[in-house]
Amino acid sequence: MQINVETKPVGSAAYDARKKRLVETIDRLYLREARAPLQKMISRIHPADMAAILDDLPPAHVVDIFHAIADTAMAADVFNQLPADRRTQLLTESSIEKLAGVLEHLPPDDLADLIGELPEDQREQLMALLGRDSKDEVESLLQYDPNSAGGIMTTDFFSLPHSLSVEEAIENIRSREDVEMVFYLYLTDEMGRLVGVVSLRQLLLTRAGTPLHKVMNRRVMKVTTDTDQTTVAMLVDKYRLLAIPVVDEDNVLVGMVTVDDVIDVIEEETTRDMLKMAGTSESETLTHSALKIATIRLPWLLAAFIGGLAATAVIGRYEEILGQVLVLSAFLPVIMGMAGNVGVQSATVAVRGLATGAIDVKDTLPLVLKELRVGLALGAFYGVILAVYGYFMHHSLQLGQVVGLTILGNMTGAALLAVLLPMIFQRMKVDPAVATGPFVTTAIDILGVLNYFVIASWIYKL
């Protein structure tokens, strides 16, 4: 836990100005080949800021300036916080040998993630250069699903035998400067099984000679290596933990997930939800080619496209009506657009509510009834306006009736469907974020068009 940090808030004008000055100074020192002053200047910058500075430097200078970071532990910290494209640049443009010393300092979980993303040949090259310990840790971490507790945990945790005394425990903490964050002391038995936990503060409150198992808390909140990362995040959030221990199937302590990993999980899951709702995927990254990105977005669009063609076919069947009442086609976009809009609103409220826990599956009926009323209210409002507009623009009472009734029906139906489906998906353990996806959207579109022409045939008596 580093606390020696810059005091200007990220994103503030003062921070931006300061960062700009640092970028310029560092680049100037680099161009003048003033290596000693460059190293000294860099050593005083917080790793998180140094990563931001490297991102702003001319790409051609980045690799050299990165290697001017004298302290390999700091270099690892900086590397860890670089944007993906800069990391890729470093991995491709500097020799693996030169980087191995730096990467060895990465927390094992981050190192494993990185190695997991490398192409096969680079992966083997790097693994061969790692020390025995790092290699073993990485290999064991690589077995776990990246979205499980095992995949996000660090093996850099701190545990002690529960038979030690408080005094011995404190002595132990003093001697171990390398571990990431210590707030809870996990206590294990002689088989390495997790048996209790004690907070650093409790240690301070207890007399030196007391054995740890007398003061430890035996009901430890824990997860297993295969627990889903979303569940881990929910637990840490719900019980306001700073870290949660991870055990294997025999209750042997194998790692811990800290609250900063949980923040990453929450951001990642939210991004995934949002992209899923929009019909793309988190596998799309800035470094992908346009063609690759297009391929990722294509399937969702394809489903929507097939739905669109189906709508085209439906409209084609009613060509006769259209031929007689041409103006009906002018109202197609507004009628379909409004239903789509209200549907997205309802679905977003439901999907986000389920994700944050504000909405529970047991709320389905009241929620659906409420959305029914919301849809009716909005549909009635826009129905009346559209009816009046249709009547006055085209001096046709029939047109007014048709468009007014259709938009009322379509908006109500869309709101209803858009809240009902996420709730059903959640109950069926399907990700509710897909509920705004192609099938629902095109179902609303096709039913909406059909409704339009059925009402039109009826009112125009065609």
- Name residues contacting a copy of itself, limited to 84-103 (CB under 8 A): 84
State the minimum distance, in angstroms, from the CB of residue 363 to a copy of itself: 7
Q: In terms of Cα–Cα distance, which of 314, 340, 308 is closest to 411?
A: 340
Q: In terms of Cα–Cα distance, which of 273, 42, 110, 177 is closest to 102?
A: 110
Q: In terms of Cα–Cα distance, which of 425, 273, 441, 434 is closest to 343?
A: 441
State the minimum distance, in angstroms, from the CB of residue 10 to a copy of itself: 5
Residue 374 parent element (H or E): helix 364-394
Take residue 423 and report the two structure tokens written for it.
Answer: 């709730």
Take residue 275 and report the two structure tokens written for it.
Answer: 């992209």
Site string for a copy of itself, 172-211 (x = CB under 8 A): -xx--x---xxxx------------x-xxx--xx------
Q: Which stretch binds a copy of itself (CB under 8 A): 57-65, 127-135, 217-225, 453-461?
A: 217-225
State the minimum distance, in angstroms, from the CB of residue 273 to a copy of itself: 8
Q: In terms of Cα–Cα distance, which of 331, 301, 326 is closest to 449?
A: 331
State the minimum distance, in angstroms, from the CB of residue 125 to a copy of itself: 28
State the minimum distance, in angstroms, from the CB of residue 300 to a copy of itself: 7
Within residues 53-72, the interface with a copy of itself by CB under 8 A covers 55-56
CA end-to-end span of the chain: 75
Take residue 134 and report the two structure tokens written for it.
Answer: 């790092």
Take residue 301 and report the two structure tokens written for it.
Answer: 């669009």
Task: Fill in the amino acid letter for 90.
Answer: L
Do 256 and 245 meet the contact criterion of CB atoms below 8 Å apart? yes
Asked if 129 touches a copy of itself (CB under 8 A), the answer is no
Which position among 76, 215, 445, 451 is part of the footprint of a copy of itself (CB under 8 A)?
A: 445
Asked if 31 touches a copy of itself (CB under 8 A), the answer is no
State the minimum distance, in angstroms, from the CB of residue 301 to a copy of itself: 6
Residue 102 parent element (H or E): helix 96-103
State the minimum distance, in angstroms, from the CB of residue 222 to a copy of itself: 7
Which position among 17, 263, 388, 430 is part of the footprint of a copy of itself (CB under 8 A)?
A: 263
Asked if 5 touches a copy of itself (CB under 8 A), the answer is yes
> Which residues, including other chains, have CB under 8 Å from residue 352's CB and lie 6 or more apart?
273, 358
Take residue 189 and report the two structure tokens written for it.
Answer: 């038995």
Which position among 32, 214, 267, 454 is part of the footprint of a copy of itself (CB under 8 A)?
A: 267
CB closer to a copy of itself, 98 vs 285: 285
Q: How far apart are CA 308 and CA 441, in angstroms?
A: 10
Q: How far apart are CA 331 and CA 318, in angstroms?
A: 15
Which position among 18, 46, 61, 87 is part of the footprint of a copy of itself (CB under 8 A)?
A: 46
Phi-psi region of 277 (alpha: psi -120 to 50; beta: other; left: phi over 0): alpha
Task: Fill in the amino acid letter for 88.
Answer: T
Q: How far apart are CA 257 and CA 222, in angstroms?
A: 10
Q: Which stretch binds a copy of itself (CB under 8 A): 33-41, 89-97, 160-168, 237-245?
A: 237-245
> Which residues, including other chains, have CB under 8 Å from residue 440's CB and lie 6 or more apart?
343, 347, 417, 418, 421
CB closer to a copy of itself, 336 vs 408: 336
Which position among 60, 249, 333, 395 is part of the footprint of a copy of itself (CB under 8 A)?
A: 333
CB closer to a copy of itself, 126 vs 328: 328
Which position among 152, 311, 387, 456 is part of the footprint of a copy of itself (CB under 8 A)?
A: 311
Site string for a copy of itself, 390-429 (x = CB under 8 A): ---x------------------------------------
Residues forming beta bridges with residue 223, ordered by sequence position? 246
Which position among 87, 123, 213, 297 is part of the footprint of a copy of itself (CB under 8 A)?
A: 297
State the minimum distance, in angstroms, from the CB of residue 424 to a copy of itself: 17
What is residue 242's three-state secondary structure?
coil
State the minimum distance, in angstroms, from the CB of residue 118 to a copy of itself: 20
Asked if 316 touches a copy of itself (CB under 8 A), the answer is yes
How many C-beta neighbours within 10 Å does residue 247 have?
23
CB closer to a copy of itself, 131 vs 357: 357
Distances in whole angstroms, Cα of residue 66 to Cα of each of 8, 47, 59, 438: 23, 11, 11, 45
Which position among 301, 424, 450, 459 is part of the footprint of a copy of itself (CB under 8 A)?
A: 301
Asked if 332 touches a copy of itself (CB under 8 A), the answer is yes
State the minimum distance, in angstroms, from the CB of residue 241 to a copy of itself: 7
DSSP assignment string, 412-449: HHHHHHHHHHHHHHHHTTS-GGGGGSHHHHHHHHHHHH
Asked if 291 touches a copy of itself (CB under 8 A), the answer is yes
Asked if 16 touches a copy of itself (CB under 8 A), the answer is no
Q: In terms of Cα–Cα distance, which of 370, 344, 356, 339 is closest to 445?
A: 339
State the minimum distance, in angstroms, from the CB of residue 161 to a copy of itself: 19
Which position among 11, 33, 395, 428 is part of the footprint of a copy of itself (CB under 8 A)?
A: 11
State the minimum distance, in angstroms, from the CB of residue 8 to a copy of itself: 9
